[in-house]
Amino acid sequence: MFGALESTAQDETGAEEADGRAAVMSDSLPMFSVTSSPGEIVKNLKKGDVVTVEYEIERADGAWCGIKEEGQTMISGYVQCQYLELQVLQKKSWESLGPSVNEESDTGKPSPPQPQEESPKPKASPKQRRELD
């Protein structure tokens, strides 16, 4: 019995997302025309080759991945998933370089403009005060 599974968007911890791309881990990996090792070998992939995993099929003899090679729009063939290493999207962390003109608040909305402090009023000299009186 077998079932089709979509490739997961997250790893086991749910912390990072995979983008469907995978690298070949073994020195040579046969790509078959069907999900069976007695099938016709379409091509031998090399260690480090990058493919896109479109889906995974769980069979009695293990998991098989339907893959596309770089630049292809259709499934190129099938490989045993255990010989692929899914690439994980790197989450970027941005550091603040200091306050900006339009700094955003924790809510993601721009902060309202801050009122400008009034400049101190010049003090009148004793002579000017006498003239005002």
Q: What is the pLDDT of residues 31-81, one digit of tens each?
A: 999 998 888 999 999 999 999 999 999 998 899 999 999 888 999 999 999
If DSSP codes are grouped into helix, strand and coil, which group holds residue 15? coil
With cut-offs at 50, 70 and 90, classify the pLDDT of residue 87: confident
Report the pLDDT value the prediction gives residue 4, as an integer from 0 to 100.
43
With cut-offs at 50, 70 and 90, classify the pLDDT of residue 88: confident
Report the pLDDT value the prediction gives residue 79, as an integer from 0 to 100.
96
Show me where the domains of the chain are located.
Answer: 3-88
Lowest-confidence pick of 56-65, 86-95, 99-108:
99-108
- Neighbour-count burial of 55, counting CB atoms closer than 10 A to its CB (0-12 exposed, 13-18 middle, 19+ buried): middle
With cut-offs at 50, 70 and 90, classify the pLDDT of residue 19: confident
68: phi > 0 → left, psi -120 to 50 → alpha, else beta; which?
beta
For the chain, give the mean pLDDT.
74
Fold of the domain spanning 3-88? SH3 type barrels. (2.30.30)
For the chain, percent of residues with pLDDT exceeding 70 = 53
Report d(CA 27, CA 85) in Å as an integer.
13
